[in-house]
Amino acid sequence: MLGLTGVTPQEGRALLDHLLRHASSPNYTIRFGWNLGDFVLWDNQATWHYAVDDYGDGARVYRKVIGVEPLRTAH
């Protein structure tokens, strides 16, 4: 079982519920209106991405690129 150190499971659940409501509030969301040729980039490590199914019968086409920082070695 996962949890937060120093709080009860009920307190942890309440905190998680609060954080999820906060992150999904309109203050922290964007709705992008696509046009032909548009290019959008976001960081999945810092973004909660959700694709709304509002593109009708057309195909949802996307390309995913994963980039990582090279490992740094001690000198």
Residue range 14-64, pLDDT digits in tens: 999 999 899 888 888 888 887 888 888 887 777 877 777 777 787 777 788
Q: pLDDT class for 1, splitting at 50, 70, 90?
A: low
> What is the pLDDT, as a whole number, of residue 15?
93
Q: What is the rounded CA–CA span in Å between residue 12 and residue 73?
A: 38
> What is the pLDDT, as a whole number, of residue 71?
75
Q: Which residues 6+ apart lie within 8 Å of 48 measured at CB? A: 23, 24
DSSP 7: S
Q: pLDDT class for 11, splitting at 50, 70, 90?
A: very high
Q: Which residues 6+ apart lie within 8 Å of 11 measured at CB? A: 4
**pTM higher than 0.75:** no
